[in-house]
Chain A
Amino acid sequence: MAQARLALALCLALAAPARAQERAAVDFARDVHPILVRRCVTCHGPDTQRAMLRLDARVPAFAGGRSGKVIVPGDPDASPLVQRLVDPDPRRRMPRKEAPLPAGEVAVLRAWIAAGAPWPAGVGPDVASAVHWAFRAPAPQSPPDVRDPWVRNPIDAFVLARLRAEGLPASPEADRRTLLRRVHLDLTGLLPSPEEVETFVADPDPDAYERVVDRLLASPHYGERMARAWLDLARYADSDGYSIDAPRVMWRWRDWVVRAFQEDLPFDRFTIEQIAGDLLPDAGDRTRIATGFHRNTMTNEEGGVDPEEFRVEAVKDRVNTTATVWLGITLACAQCHDHKYDPFSQREYYQLFAFFDDADEHDLLVDAAAVRDRKNRQQVAAASAPVLRQRAQPRDTRIQEAGDFTRPGAPVQPGVPAALHPLAPGAGRATRLDLARWLVAADNPLTARVQVNRLWLRLFGTGLVATDEDFGSQGEAASHPELLDWLARAFVADGWSHKRILRRIVTSATYRQASVARADLSARDPANRLLGRQTRLRLDAELVRDVALCASGLLSRGVGGPSVFPPQPEGVLAQGQVERKWVVSRGQDRYRRGLYTFRWRMTPHPALAVFDAPAGVETCTRRTRSNTPLQALTLLHDEALLECARALAARAVRDAGGGDAAIARLFLFAVQREPTPRERAVLWRLLVQTGGDWTAAARAVLNLDEAITRE
């Protein structure tokens, strides 16, 4: 053995003619695999598979890459693996941008291929495919055969099987009040009424919970709740952004989203209308308004700017947002160069760019009466909805060198990345409608997974893929890959119905678990990735407002319409370059849900910003949940919260007449449960200290961690 190695080494050192070396005894594990690992895996290994090629593992190495097989056993000259190592063109030669391989190493590879390229099992990682998991279609999954009375549906079988493998039990169902409050907040963002609590707690029907879920899915507030998350993805705001930050009329598109969720518009149709509602054969005002999704880009009205620069910026934002929202991939880096980690080239970026480059921004007049009455420009704008409209002549879209629009390169046609499923063939130049259909095509490996993962994220606090914005090779792997695939396929099989997939998830035992901490899980799984319990989640910024309005009874339940102006501290808008007015809404509009608060991009309402509401500058797939003293100050001092505290106090006293019963009402309205004796004692003490100030007691209750948390 040692002698053979010496002989080989000598051969290599002498760099004898290649043919002679092919006869030398080459041992794959000893001689060949180390070369592949040392020279190739940075780009073609477990972390990165440029050109979809992976060379350190047997199956993918023989499967080849984007342009086909790279190893032809028995024929080194016909093997691209060898060809590319000796290519005289340095731009094609591998390893890229590095010195050529020593002749001896090339000779070893030639010899190995000439000998039939034997790759013994057990050398290198045992992986089935070169293609990153997320770029392969979800595979059919059968739920594990887990027999346990805890299991209510297939979701639970996947979760419990994993927990059992870790030797951990699941948690029991949450108590009824917690469960009811949870599912109300998750599906509508509002609190259950005292009557709804009473009914549910006393309902002996085994399907009582399922009936609650059905009632909530039918509620008009379900659409509002679902819409807000979509607005984050769409970078929604009511102003233009940049330094001028002029107001805009986006609410008609926002209302379109609310209604689409409310009516359970299937996600494929929901997608197509928003990307290309103007191009549908049955296009109408409503589908045109849907294209407002991509009119949520920022607009710079500053003097002296190059309009083309900001038009290009907006088109790039449309590409990047589309990729992140539907495909769960980060494409922005491919504006300037080929993607470093995922199989997307700069050319492919500009092919996607071309779809949106063929569209112009347009204001669709939806209220013709405004024009008939010859109203002024502002009033006409208020009667319009921002939409996309296809150009009569397509633009001459070109690659932008280094992402710079002043440096046009080669022309490109609309197209999709080769690493993903192909675009359905059509006549002539592909359009946004083709792209939209491609996003929701049956063979798209990403869209359904990405969307169900986001639903999961909202119901459990963390996605099955924690990096929900990045399903690429730099993202994290799924905690429960089979469950993710099962959900994705179920979503599509159910006709892309949000209501059906949500019903499956929220009626699972997994969702219904108690969120109470467990010592065994805290040590083993502090982030709760194994789902051995539910998670307490601090409510989103808008819901922090909504629950206070609910508890106090002040909430205005109107759905839709122009955005409104609840109270905010003075001086907030003074920070913008152009000082805007904030005239506090009167009447019912003072008490609308947080969803309807007017969003200035550059000077957002501080009560929303402090609780991590995104400003709408770029797509936001997942909000952070900070916990800061500024939040405490907001809940203690915000005028809106004080108003709620006064109303809650009055409501409790009016209902119960005061005393212990009124304390119980405060708790019932705010957190839907009875106070414990110790909690009663705390509130009594506060009442005594403050000379019977029920507003102080109500303010304390609205400030509880529990009040702004979904347990």
Chain B
Amino acid sequence: MNHGLDPWAVSRRWFLGRCGFGLGAAALAGLGAPLPGAGATGTRAPRRRVRNVIFLFMAGGPSQLELFDWKPELQRRHGEPVPASLLAGKRFAFMDSYFARKLSLLGTTRRFARHGERGTWVSELLPCTARVVDHLAIVRTLQTDVPNHGPAKAMLNTGFFRYGRPSMGAWVLYGLGSESRDLPGFVVLASGVRGPRGGALNWNSGFLPTVHQGVPFRPGAEPIPYLRRPAEIAADTEAETVAGIAALNRERLAATGDPEIATRIAQYEMAFRMQARAPELLDLQGESRAVLDLYGVEPGQPSFAANCLLARRMVERGVRFVQLYHTNWDSHGGPRENLTTDLERVCHDVDRGCAALVLDLHARGLLDETLVVWSGEFGRTPIGEPRETVGRNHHVEAGTFWLAGGGVRPMDLGRTDELGYASVEDPVHVHDLQATILHLLGIDHEQLTFRHQGREFRLTDVGGRVVGKLLG
């Protein structure tokens, strides 16, 4: 059938992830796309240091004022009415004028102390993280555009508030290809009371080829259903059958020109290789007792910490982008989301795993080439939100994230005002964080684009600047 398309031209682009093993940015050049960083205007080519990203997504918006942003002035003024200047013209998720008048400033009940060589303030809720602060660049001025969970998660993952654009992991795979032949290049792991709102839209590939979408592993003893070949099928038969399926699918690709078939072919090949490799990946028995204890993991028991350990095992095996989700950080003060027991529980859930991951990567010499990102979709207000208990509202003007590894300089960056409300020094917008992550991976965020419906799209939409101070 003649549809005027060379199916291999279609699938070459589609196969970027598969063919780009270890080629890095050269994969793009070979396909005639501009090499990221090689813009005509002589943009400096970012030095590539990072090979893998582990993104610890704290879903719901962790309260930086209980964790990282110590504000003595807020403590002093606890209970005072909210200055009108803080509310005028601002957008909040849960606020209307008629009760705005009743609001007051909310100090924290958490004890903060200085930690590490820099004397970094961290609260008692994150004792393990506090012990690794010398590895962390803690940024207290994260800003985003939208105050609701779904849109803000879409912002952080895709650079745009409405779901549908490619996620960061998909962009990174598109740009750099995968380094693993046997495992997906972008894997998603979830823990906590439920998965993140938006579900698969948080890791989808949007208009990029679907081969770049994130592959979610399930929590529990069998993260990959149907991984094991039934006993009645001989290994040779499986191999020959998969080869036959590929050959037949290629015939149909030629006949229809539908790039989804190219993705399907790639996924069957991946599925076949995963059967050999994934059981070993998922088997934590091989880890020493010391490592299991470091993370606080029991093999067979799903947890955030177990996912952290799995993430390390994945980057060791070349998985380019691992994203962990943990819920629920949405401390409004209502049932199951108070700033007391519920926040303690979620902090306890993640603290040890995060710190263990950083130490473990460091000990193995992997921290230089692996970037660990810890962030929620936004921060929370210094204003109390009276519900069943007093909690905090979503806040787009200041939140805290941290980076570790990947050549990022450990430091404290960004300052909020005395109440922790506005970012007054070194604000970092979500697009800036994205631009910086791409930069560390050796990609110029303005050059990594995809043409769709008549215009060039990129992860950072129309914004983003690399945060130079963070670069080591």
Residues on A close to B: CB < 8 A? 91, 95-99, 305-306, 309, 333, 336-338, 340, 346, 401-404, 406-407, 467, 474, 515-520, 522, 525-527, 529, 536, 538, 569, 571-572, 574-575, 606-607, 610, 612, 624, 626-634, 636-639, 642, 676, 678-679, 682-683, 685-686, 689-690, 693, 696-697, 699-701, 703-706, 709, 711
Q: Is B32 an interface residue (CB 8 A)?
A: no
Q: Is the CB of A629 within 8 A of B245?
A: no
If A406-B388, A517-B3, A518-B4 touch, does A626 touch B96 (CB 8 Å cutoff)?
no
Q: Is B230 an interface residue (CB 8 A)?
A: yes
What 9 pairs across the A-B complex have the smallest Cβ distances?
A517-B257, A632-B271, A519-B4, A606-B225, A629-B271, A629-B270, A637-B226, A686-B244, A336-B94
If A572-B225, A630-B215 touch, does A700 touch B95 (CB 8 Å cutoff)?
no
- Count CB-based A-B contacts (< 8 Å): 218
Q: Is the CB of B267 within 8 A of A97?
A: no
Q: How far is the CB of B199 from chain A (nearest CB, A)?
A: 8
Q: Is the CB of B3 within 8 A of A636?
A: no
Contacts of B334 in A (CB 8 A): 404
Q: How far is the CB of A216 from chain B (nearest CB, A)?
A: 24
Residue of A nearest to B334 (CB): A404
Q: Is the CB of A97 within 8 A of B3?
A: no
Contacts of A634 in B (CB 8 A): 225-226
Complex A-B: 9 CB contacts under 8 Å: A96-B97, A305-B335, A407-B386, A515-B256, A519-B3, A632-B272, A636-B238, A690-B237, A700-B241
Q: Is the CB of B238 within 8 A of A633?
A: no
Q: How far is the CB of B229 from chain A (nearest CB, A)?
A: 6
Q: How far is the CB of B19 from chain A (nearest CB, A)?
A: 17
* A346-B225 Cα distance, complex, nearest whole Å: 44
* A684-B38 Cα distance, complex, nearest whole Å: 50
Q: Is the CB of A630 within 8 A of B226?
A: yes
Contacts of B247 in A (CB 8 A): 682
* A292-B63 Cα distance, complex, nearest whole Å: 40
Q: How far is the CB of A574 from chain B (nearest CB, A)?
A: 7
Q: Is the CB of B4 within 8 A of A527?
A: no
* A630-B271 Cα distance, complex, nearest whole Å: 7
Q: Is the CB of B264 within 8 A of A705?
A: yes
* A522-B200 Cα distance, complex, nearest whole Å: 26
Q: How far is the CB of B63 from chain A (nearest CB, A)?
A: 17
Residue of A nearest to B184 (CB): A629
If A575-B219, A627-B263 touch, does A346 touch B96 (CB 8 Å cutoff)?
yes
Q: Is the CB of A683 within 8 A of B388?
A: no
Q: How far is the CB of B152 from chain A (nearest CB, A)?
A: 13
Q: Is the CB of A569 within 8 A of B222?
A: yes
If A402-B95, A474-B162, A575-B219 touch, does A642 touch B230 (CB 8 Å cutoff)?
yes
Residues on B close to A: CB < 8 A? 1, 3-5, 10, 87-99, 148, 162, 184, 199-201, 204, 207, 210-211, 213, 215-216, 218-222, 224-230, 232-233, 236-238, 240-245, 247-249, 251-252, 255-258, 260-261, 263-265, 267-268, 270-272, 274-275, 334-335, 385-388, 452-453
Q: A626's contact among B87, B210, B240, by CB below 8 Å, is which?
A: B210
Q: A520's contact among B4, B236, B251, B271, by CB below 8 Å, is which?
A: B4
Q: B241's contact among A309, A627, A638, A696, by CB below 8 Å, is which?
A: A696
Contacts of A626 in B (CB 8 A): 200, 204, 210, 213
Q: Is the CB of A633 within 8 A of B274?
A: yes
Q: Is the CB of B221 within 8 A of A637?
A: no
Q: Is the CB of A522 within 8 A of B90?
A: no
* A572-B248 Cα distance, complex, nearest whole Å: 33
Contacts of B251 in A (CB 8 A): 676, 678-679, 682
If A98-B89, A516-B1, A633-B274 touch, does A574 touch B240 (CB 8 Å cutoff)?
no
Q: Is the CB of B89 within 8 A of A536?
A: no
If A404-B388, A696-B241 touch, does A569 touch B226 (CB 8 Å cutoff)?
yes
Q: Is the CB of B220 within 8 A of A628?
A: no
Contacts of A474 in B (CB 8 A): 162
Q: B387's contact among A98, A333, A406, by CB below 8 Å, is which?
A: A406
Q: Is the CB of A633 within 8 A of B99?
A: no
Q: Is the CB of B94 within 8 A of A403?
A: yes
Q: How far is the CB of A551 from chain B (nearest CB, A)?
A: 15
* A569-B261 Cα distance, complex, nearest whole Å: 27
Contacts of B95 in A (CB 8 A): 336-337, 402
* A637-B388 Cα distance, complex, nearest whole Å: 49
Q: Is the CB of B260 within 8 A of A627?
A: yes
Q: A699's contact among B241, B243, B261, B265, by CB below 8 Å, is which?
A: B241
If A638-B226, A686-B240 touch, does A526 touch B256 (CB 8 Å cutoff)?
no
If A636-B242, A686-B244 touch, does A538 touch B260 (CB 8 Å cutoff)?
yes
Q: Is the CB of B237 within 8 A of A629?
A: no
Q: How far is the CB of B189 from chain A (nearest CB, A)?
A: 14
Q: Is the CB of B244 within 8 A of A685?
A: yes
Contacts of B244 in A (CB 8 A): 682-683, 685-686, 696-697, 700
Q: B227's contact among A91, A526, A633, A704, by CB below 8 Å, is which?
A: A633
* A526-B208 Cα distance, complex, nearest whole Å: 11
Contacts of A516 in B (CB 8 A): 1, 3, 255-257
Contacts of B241 in A (CB 8 A): 636, 686, 690, 696, 699-700, 703
Q: A630's contact among B224, B243, B257, B261, by CB below 8 Å, is which?
A: B224
* A538-B256 Cα distance, complex, nearest whole Å: 14
* A699-B232 Cα distance, complex, nearest whole Å: 13
Which of B207, B255, B256 has the most CB atoms of chain A within a 10 A radius of its CB?
B256
Q: Is the CB of A705 within 8 A of B94?
A: no
Contacts of A538 in B (CB 8 A): 260
Contacts of A632 in B (CB 8 A): 264, 267-268, 270-272
* A473-B125 Cα distance, complex, nearest whole Å: 42
Q: Is the CB of B210 within 8 A of A536?
A: no
Which of A403, A536, A705 has the most CB atoms of chain B within a 10 A radius of its CB?
A705
Q: B261's contact among A96, A689, A697, A705, by CB below 8 Å, is which?
A: A705
Q: Is the CB of B89 within 8 A of A97?
A: yes
Contacts of A525 in B (CB 8 A): 453
Residue of B nearest to A634 (CB): B226
If A97-B88, A624-B204 touch, does A631 touch B267 (CB 8 Å cutoff)?
yes
Residue of B nearest to A535 (CB): B258
Contacts of A693 in B (CB 8 A): 237
Q: Is the CB of B258 within 8 A of A517?
A: yes
Q: Is the CB of B91 within 8 A of A340?
A: yes
Contacts of A612 in B (CB 8 A): 200
Q: Is the CB of A711 within 8 A of B256?
A: yes
Contacts of B242 in A (CB 8 A): 636
Q: Is the CB of A536 within 8 A of B94?
A: no
* A406-B334 Cα distance, complex, nearest whole Å: 10
Q: How far is the CB of B266 from chain A (nearest CB, A)?
A: 8
Q: How far is the CB of A455 from chain B (nearest CB, A)?
A: 21
Q: How far is the CB of B467 from chain A (nearest CB, A)?
A: 29
Contacts of A575 in B (CB 8 A): 218-220
Q: Is the CB of B240 within 8 A of A402?
A: no
Q: Is the CB of A629 within 8 A of B267?
A: yes
* A340-B99 Cα distance, complex, nearest whole Å: 17
Q: Is the CB of A574 within 8 A of B221?
A: yes
* A527-B454 Cα distance, complex, nearest whole Å: 11
If A518-B3, A679-B248, A705-B249 touch, does A624 touch B335 (CB 8 Å cutoff)?
no
Q: B225's contact among A91, A406, A630, A697, by CB below 8 Å, is which?
A: A630
* A699-B385 Cα distance, complex, nearest whole Å: 58
Residue of A nearest to B452 (CB): A526
Q: A610's contact among B225, B275, B335, by CB below 8 Å, is which?
A: B225
